[in-house]
Structure 1
Amino acid sequence: MNRNEGILFFNHPIAGSRNSHLGFFVALRLLGSAIICIIFLSALIIKASPLLCPLICGRETLPDSPPSSPAAILPASCHSHNDYWRERPLFSALEAGCVGVEADVWPYKDELFVAHGLDTIVPNRTLKSMYLNPLLQQLDGTGRSPSSLPATTPRGLYKSRPTQTLVLLVDFKSHPEKTWSLLMRELEPLRRSMLLTSYVSNQKIIRPITVVVTGDIPAYLLNQDESAESRDVFLDAPLSNVQSGLYDAANSHWASMSLAKLVGSVSSSGFSSLQLAKIRSQVRSAHDHGLQVRFWKLPTWPIGLRNKIWASLREEGVDILNTDDLQNAANALREDATSQ
C-alpha cells in the first residue's frame, strides 16, 4: 500500500466510523475516570472539613460581639451541635435563638483550647476567648433583673424570656482531671457574677448560663466533694442509664443519647408505634429524675422526614433537639410552640 492509498483508507467512511466509535469510548472512559476522581476528592474534603474549619472559618481574630443583639429574639429548644465549626461560633446560635452550644475542649499549655482534635488547635481559639468572655460581655449589660424577677435572679441573654438559661456543653476530649481543673478556674468570672446555674441546699437555681460536661469525664470528678455547699457544673447523663439512680437534678442537667441507637432507622412515614414507645419510656424516665432530654444523631435528609421527626420528638416531650441547621430548626420549633 502506498502513501496515497493509506490516506484514502483512513478517509474511507467505514474506517472513519470505526475511529469515531473508538474515540467515543476513549472519551467516555476519561469522563468516567474524571467523575470518580471528583467524587473521591469531594469525599476527602467533606471528611476533612472539621479539621480545616478552624483554619478557614475559625479565624484567630474572633468577633467581640454579634452584629445584632439576641435580646429581642424568641428562644427555641435547639442545641448547636459542634458550634465551634461555625464561621461565627456562639453568635450564630444566639441569633437563631438556640438554648445550647457545644464546644470540644483540649487542655494544652495551661489553657482549654476548642478544637475537633488536638492536631487542629489554633492560637486564640480557647474556651475563654470563644465562649466565656463573650458571654460575660453579653450578660454584663443585660444581667440586671427586670422588675418581673426577684432582685437576686440575673436576667438571661434573651429579653423575650429573661429566665431562659443557655447551656454551654463542654465536651472533655482528653486528660479529664486537668480539663476539670482548668474549667473550674476559667468559670470563676461567671461564678463571681452569679451567672451560673447552681445546686444549693437541695435546690437547683437556674441562672443565665448552665455549664454541662460530657465526654471523657469520670463521674467521680463531679461527686468528689459531696460536702460542698453548692455545685455549678453538671453532667450530661446517659439517657439509657438514668434508671440506675446515679443521675438526678443534683448532679446532672441533661440526659442524652443517640436517636439512631435507640430506635434504629426511621421510615419515610415517620416513627413506628414501637419506636415511639421506646422514646416515651426514655423521656418519662428522665423527667421523673428531673432531667431534660436531648437526642443527637437525628436524620437530616430528606428535609420532609427531618421536619416530621422534629415535630414528633417535640410531641413526645423531648426537650432539646441537636441540630446543625440552626435557623430552620429554631423556626420549626417556634412554629410548633405557637400552634400548640
Structure 2
Amino acid sequence: MHNVDRYLSENPGGRRLARAVVAWIMFAVLLIAPQAGVAAAAPAVAPLPRAHAHNDYLHDRPLYDALAQGFTSVEADVYPGLQSTDLSVAHAPWEIRPQRTLRSLYLDPLRQIVAANGGTVLPGYTGEFQLLIEMKWDAPTAYRVLDDLTRDPQYAGLFTRYVDGRVIRGPVTIGLLTAFTDGTDLRTTLAAQNPRSAFVIGAPNDLGTGIPATLMPEINADWAKLFRWRGEGAMPDAERRTLTELVDRAHREGKRIRFWGVPEQPGAARKALWDMQYDTGVDRIATDHLSDLAEYLRQRSS
C-alpha cells in the first residue's frame, strides 16, 4: 500500500489515472442503482451537442438515460410544487407526485455528477449542457421558487450566470419556457435581474426585436405551425427557404434554434426530417427516442 502511495505522489499522470478509474467505478455503481442517490460521473460516451431529450422526465431514468446516450440538453416540465421550496416535475397537474421534483430528478443528480466528474456533466465536454425547464403553470411563482433554488449554496458554481452584462459559463445552463402566457412578464423579470442563473427561450417572432442573446440565447419553434412537410417526398422549395432563413436569422443574432412537434414516427420520413434539420444548421434536434437519434447523429458526424 505504501508503494502505491509513493508511486501516486511521484507520478501526476498516475494520480490522474487513479481519479479517472474511481470516476468510472462510481458510474458503474450508478447504473446498478441510479435511484439510490449514488453520485457518479457521466458515462464514457461521445457528447452529442445537437441532441435534445424532449420531455426527458418521462424516460425510465430521467437525466441518466439521456446522459448515457451523450445528450447535452434535457427538458423538464414543472409546476409550483407541493412544497414551496421546490418544483414538481410532471406533464399534467394530475401527474404530480411528491417524490418527483426538480431538485430530486435534476438539480441534485447534476450537482453530484459534476462534482464526481471534475467540473463537467459529460467527461471532457466543454460545451454547453442545457437544462430546459418549461413552466407549465403560474410562471411567476414557479420562477420565484427556481430563483431561490439556484441561489442555494449547495449549487454554487453549478449554473451558467449572467453578471454585469457578461455570461459566465457554468456546467449547466438553465433555459426557461413558459406555457399559457407569452412570457413577457418573465422576460421583464429576468432582464431586471443582476445576477441571475436562468435565460429565456424565445419564439420566432422574438427575432429582430433587439432581445440580446445574453437574455434569450435560444429560439424554439413549432414545426407544425410553420411547415406542412412531414418528411415524405422532397420538402417544398418555399418551405425550405423559410427554414433556412429562420435558422440564419437566429444565428445572426447569436442564438441557437430548435423545433418541437416534429413528427417522430420511426422510418424514412423521420430520417428525412432529421436530415433536413441537420443540413440546414438547426442547433438542437429534439426527440423522445434517445438511442435512435444518438445513432443517427453519430452516423452523420462520422
* 2:78–2:134 contact (8 Å) kept in structure 1: yes
| Residues 1:230 and 2:202 are matched in the alignment | no
Describe the superposition over 1:249-276 as per-residue Cα deviations: whole angstroms up to 9, x where unpaired. Answer: 1211210111121112335224222111
Residue from 44, 51, 54 that aligns with 1:72: 44
**Structure 2 CA distance, aligned partners of 1:204 and 1:134?**
24
Contact 2:41 2:116 in 1 (8 A): no
Instruction: Tell me, yes or no, if structure 1 residue 105 matches structure 2 residue 75.
Output: no
Q: CA deviation at 1:234?
A: 0.4
Alpha-carbon distance change, 190 to 294 in structure 1, aligned in 2, over 3 angstroms: farther
Assess, with a 3 A threshold, how the Cα gap between structure 1 residues 302 and 90 changes in structure 2: closer, same or farther: closer
Q: Within 5 Å, which residues of 2 pair with 1:149-164?
A: 155-161=119-125, 163-164=126-127
- Corresponding position of 1:168: 131
2:237 to 243, 266, 273: 273
Once the two structures are superposed, the pairs formed by residues 137-286 of structure 1 within 5 Å of their partners are 137-143=112-118, 155-161=119-125, 163-189=126-152, 192-216=155-179, 218-224=183-189, 226=191, 228-245=193-210, 247-286=211-250
After superposition, residues 122-141 of structure 1 pair within 5 angstroms as 122-141=97-116
From the CA coordinates, give the structure whose radius of gyration is larger: 1
Q: Identity over the aligned pairs, expressed in percent?
A: 28
Q: Give distance in 2, aligned partners of 1:291 and 1:223.
A: 19
Q: Return the offset for 1:208.
A: 1.1
- Conserved in 2, the CA contact under 8 Å of 1:271 and 1:309? no
Secondary structure of the residue aligned to 1:78 is: strand
Which residue does the alignment assign to 2:94?
A: 119
Shift of 1:293: 0.6
Deviation at 1:118, TM superposition (A): 1.4
Shift of 1:228: 4.3
Note the 1:279-318 alignment, pairs <5 A: 279-318=243-282
String of CA shifts for 1:162-213, please: whole Å, max 9, x gaps. x122211111111222111110111224785312112334332332100011
1:23 corresponding residue in structure 2 = none
Match of 1:45 in 2: none
Partner secondary structure for residue 74 of structure 2:
strand
8 A Cα contact 1:136 1:190, kept in partner = no
Query: Partners of 1:89 and 1:335 in 2: how far apart?
Result: 25
Deviation by residue 1:108-153 (Cα, 9 ceiling, x = unmatched): 331311111111111211100010000001111224xxxxxxxxxx
CA RMSD of aligned residues (A): 2.2
Secondary structure at the aligned position of 2:35 is classed as coil
Q: CA deviation at 1:296?
A: 0.9
| 1:257-314: CA deviation from partner (whole Å, max 9, x where unpaired) | 1112111233522422211101111111111111111011112125112112212211
Give the secondary structure class of the aligned counterpart of 1:169.
Answer: strand
Partner of 2:285: 321
**What 5-or-longer segments of structure 2 have no aligned partner?**
1-33
Q: Structure 1 residues 261, 207: CA separation in 2 closer, same or farther (over 3 Å shift)? A: same
Q: Find the residue that maps to 2:212 and give its secondary structure.
A: coil
Q: Which residue of 1 aligns with 2:57?
A: 84
Q: Which moved more, 1:319-328 or 1:262-271?
A: 262-271
Moved over 6 A (4+): none
1:292/1:319 contact within 8 Å kept: yes
2: CA distance, partners of 1:172 / 1:286: 23
Q: 1:198 to 1:124 in 2, by over 3 A?
A: same
Displacement, 1:69? Answer: 4.5
Q: What is the rounded CA distance, in whole Å, between the counterparts of 1:300 and 1:78 in structure 2?
A: 14
Query: How many angstroms apart in 2 are the aligned matches of 1:322 and 1:221?
Result: 24
**Stretches of structure 1 lacking an aligned partner (at least 5 in a row):** 1-60, 144-154
The CA distance in 1 between the partners of 2:59 and 2:114, in whole Å, is: 22
